[in-house]
Copies of this chain bind each other. A is one copy, B any other.
Amino acid sequence: MIEIDWPERSEPAPWRRDGGKVVVCVTIDVDAESPILARGDHYAEHLSTLSHQAFGPRKGLDRLLGVLRSSDVPATIFIPGETAVRWPSTVEAAAEGGYEVAFHGFSHRHPVHLSADEQRREVDAAIETLTRFGVDPVGYRAPNWEMHSVTLEHLAARGLRYDSSLMDDDEPYVLSLAEGRLAELPPHWSLDDWEQYFFVPEPDIGQRIVPPSQVLQLWSEELEAMRRWGGLLVLTLHPFLSGRASRARALEQFIELAQGYDDVEFATCDEIARRVLADQGEPIAP
């Protein structure tokens, strides 16, 4: 029986405002071409599939940011290093819009498939790339949510504040690592748009498209149920997917639903991470 080397976790400081039951973190992963090219250099010649991905930086991100802006909703934008290099406008738009910019690896290769050195270089290169844009990222999300302990430790070593890749809770918690503390803000496959909307013929990384109204249903049911048990609802969107018109409309409807509830709050990942890591007793702004 093999042993699992779980990182040590502990309770978060208070992270909800008074009377609050749910915090929604809207997060946007600006993958663009990276998840395709990470599967093989030959995909650089698959023009249609790359263009499918490029819809994100060309059009989808702006549309999503427009929805957020007109709803006055904060968000965290996770950008892989390669996207920042290929599409600098994505980092600029996110930063200028006042959104939190975090990182999502450099090449979108999965930590679990990389050597320890490669894992550290992925983190370092991504931070360095964003830094050149004047961004000082404090949070990370593992490509394909395939976290490895080497990457997790390296995030702490680099002084990051939070990760959003582990799924063993629906509330935030604290990771106490050898290299320091990190807030963990758990995402989930069911609150991600990829499993509902992704289709390309190759590589084989998703082939199912459902109506946006069904996705709105899926997310709304989780929101409603979290109002009972409490929770952190980390919504994950990809501009090349959710940036399509009817899907952006579904996001807007989700936001309208959530904003109608007194016990639901929107916040960036960094805001929640700060609260989670605060000394106990520190007050939370209403």
Collect the chain B residues with CB atoms within 8 Å of residue A45's CB: 112, 148-149
A50 in complex: contacting residue of B4, B33, B228, CB < 8 Å: B4
Q: A217-B213, A218-B211, A221-B249 are in contact. Are A244 and B170 (CB under 8 A)?
A: yes
In the complex this chain forms, how many copies of it are found?
A: 4
Q: Are B199 and A46 in contact (CB under 8 A)?
A: no
Task: Check B47 against A166 for contact (C-beta < 8 Å).
Answer: yes
A221, B212: Cβ atoms under 8 Å? yes
- Chain A, interface SS category: helix
Known contacts A48-B166, A52-B168, A58-B168; A85 and B1 CB within 8 A of each other:
yes
Bound CA span A212–B224, Å: 12
Chain B min CB distance to A250 (Å): 8
Is A167 an interface residue, CB under 8 A from the partner? yes
Q: Is A105 an interface residue (CB 8 A)?
A: no
Minimum CB–CB distance for A101 against chain B, Å: 20
A54 at the interface (CB under 8 A from B): yes
Q: A1-B85, A37-B2, A54-B168 are in contact. Are A47 and B245 (CB under 8 A)?
A: no
Query: Does A267 count as interface, using CB distance less than 8 angstroms?
Result: no
Chain B residue nearest to A215 (CB atoms) is: B211
Residue pair B200, A189 in contact (C-beta under 8 Å): yes
A18-49 CB contacts (< 8 Å) to partner B: 33, 37, 41, 44-49
A245 touches B218 (CB 8 A): no
Interface-forming stretch among A90-98, A201-209, A272-280?
A201-209
The CA-CA distance from A250 to B226 in the complex, in Å, is: 13
Instruction: Verify B208–A221 contact, CB threshold 8 A.
Output: no
Q: Which of B146, B190, B201 contacts A146 (CB 8 A)?
A: B201
Give the CA-CA distance A246 to B7 in the complex, in Å.
28
Inter-chain pairs besides A206-B207, A208-B208, 6 sampled, C-beta below 8 Å: A51-B186, A52-B168, A54-B168, A55-B169, A224-B249, A228-B245
